[in-house]
Amino acid sequence: MHMKMPDGNKRGRILVVDDEESIGVGISEILKDEGFEAAYVINGEDAVKALKDRDYNLVFMDMVMPGMNGLEAYREIKKVVPNAKVVLFTGYFRDAEKVILQGIREGMIDEFIRKPYFAEEIIRSARKYT
């Protein structure tokens, strides 16, 4: 399988999808501090648009969002970028359990990063999948 190298000395390009702006910004900043290129969007529709416009090596996807939930967004992303790597990210595990299990069946990376998240978890996943 041919892998495209990230531009220059960047570790990789990551998209964070979370309807809570403070979390989106927080994770993006953690990733930027580690040398990744990171962007964030606040909903599934924007995530799909962002992936159409640019190559991202990895997506951190919140599961519980208004409008399109994480699983629906993932399905749309797969149509645009079939080999996209998407890590689940959720704070509402109990409510989201069915959706999460379905996402894993469909190929989402079942590495839950639970909220409140720890910087180390974010960085470890980012390094592992980019």
Residue type, 60: F
Q: Which residue has the higher pLDDT, 125 or 45?
A: 45
Angle (CA) 81 37 9, round 5°: 105
Q: How far apart are the first and last CA of the chain?
A: 15
* Residue boundaries of the structural domains of the chain: 13-129
Q: What is the pLDDT of residues 71-108, one digit of tens each?
A: 899 999 999 988 889 888 776 656 667 777 788 788 87
Structure tokens at 41: 């969007």
Question: 60 near 15, Cβ under 8 Å?
Answer: yes
Regarding the domain delimited by 13-129, which CATH topology (the fold level of the hierarchy) does it fall under?
Answer: Rossmann fold (3.40.50)
pTM over 0.85: no
Residue type, 76: E
CA atoms of 60 and 5, how far apart (whole Å) = 20
